[in-house]
Structures are given as C-alpha cells and as structure tokens.
Amino acid sequence: MAKKLYVGNLSFNTSESTIRELFAQCGEIAEANIIMDRDTGRSKGFGFIEMVSDEAAQAAITKFNGYTLDDRALTVNEARPREERSGNGFGGGYGGSRSGGNRNSGNRNRY
C-alpha cells in the first residue's frame, strides 16, 4: 500500500525532479510534488512524496530525515492527514479596525 511522506526544509531552488530522483534510491515513487505559493509561484519549502510500498517509505524516512540537500537538512516523516478547515475561509478573525475605521469615534465628546 502506498504511503505519503512529508518532506520539509527544502531549498526554494529544489525541484520535484530532484526529490523524485533522490527518493527513488529507496524504492518506487507513485507521486512527488512540491507545494507552491499561489501568489508568488515560489516554493513554500515543503512537499510530499508518495512511495509505492510501506517498506520503501520507511527506508526513505530512515535514510533522508536529516539528509543535507542544497545545504538544507531535510525533515522527512509520515504525512498526517489534512485537517478539515471550517468556517468561511477567512481564518475565523474579524480583522480591521475595532471602531469601524474612525479612530476617534469613542472620543466624540472631547471637544
């Protein structure tokens, strides 16, 4: 059964083909992707590798957790399931000014 691995602390210059080649040393890879920032198009510094077998995944964790790639020590572990996000997608906070934009609205009787 395939197992997904989290790969963190990647250099912004590391490519999917580079991590695919690296992890292929431990076994067959079903999928490899680096997470990109949608605004800048730049790597977020982490990605995921899906290994075809549990044995290959464990070998990759053992071999590459702490491994130096592009002058960065990789963090490799079993990926956790993605957490469900609730709410409206705005992070749950209200943000902005507490007074509705008028800084002096609480001081109207001062003058």
| Domain residue limits, the chain | 3-78
Beta bridge partners of 68: 73
pTM over 0.85: no
On the question of pLDDT at 34 being above 90, the answer is yes
Q: What are the pLDDT digits (tens) for 59-107? A: 999 999 999 999 999 999 999 988 887 766 555 555 555 555 555 555 5
Residue 28: alpha-carbon gap to chain centroid: 22
Altogether, the residues listed in the chain come to a count of 111
Residue with tokens 């990926």: 79
On the question of pLDDT at 35 being above 60, the answer is yes
Class of domain 3-78: alpha beta
Among 69, 62, 79, CA closest to 22: 69
| The pLDDT of residue 63 | 98
Q: What are the pLDDT digits (tens) for 36-67? A: 999 999 999 999 999 999 999 999 999 999 99
| The pLDDT of residue 46 | 97
